[in-house]
Structure 1
Amino acid sequence: MTNSIFEKIVLTKENEEALEYATSKAYLKRVKASEAKRAKRNTIINKPISKEVQKALLAL
């Protein structure tokens, strides 16, 4: 069994186009933008604060 799975894959025209797109700058730019949005969504700044925290801040 010397044949690896990669040797058996035949690159069709569609696969070549998909591979080119996946390595293109436009795709990488979109991925980075979506990761930045996800990170921004998950930060503590964008989460609603609880009523206890609001009361503590008002007391200051």
Structure 2
Amino acid sequence: MLSQVLVHHGLLPTAPSQPCMAVSMGLLAFYWALFECSCDAIHMLASTLKTHDTR
């Protein structure tokens, strides 16, 4: 099953069956660390990713 393969490789599928996207477990851990340090974690994450992407 595709979802099991994704999880085995450290990715979390966005749907239980026939996922078309997946999120890195490392990114989720990074988001959680931001969430613990900031009440506005989603904006901080989006800003950080945008800054990183433009490099």
* TM-score, normalised by the number of residues in structure 1: 0.27
Larger % of strand: which? Answer: 2
Larger % of helix: which? Answer: 1
The structure with the largest alpha-carbon Rg is 1
* TM-score, normalised by the number of residues in structure 2: 0.28
